[in-house]
Amino acid sequence: MKHSDFNLGTEFWSADRQWRCTDVGTRVIVAIRIDAAEIGSNEPSLRRALNREQAESEGWFNGLPYAVAEVVFDEDDFEGCSLEPMAVT
pLDDT recorded at residue 51: 96
- The 10s digit of each residue's pLDDT in 26-69 is 999 999 999 999 998 899 998 999 999 999 999 999 999 999 99
CA distance 75 to 63: 25
CA distance 40 to 47: 5
pLDDT surpassing 60 at residue 76: yes
pLDDT surpassing 80 at residue 88: no
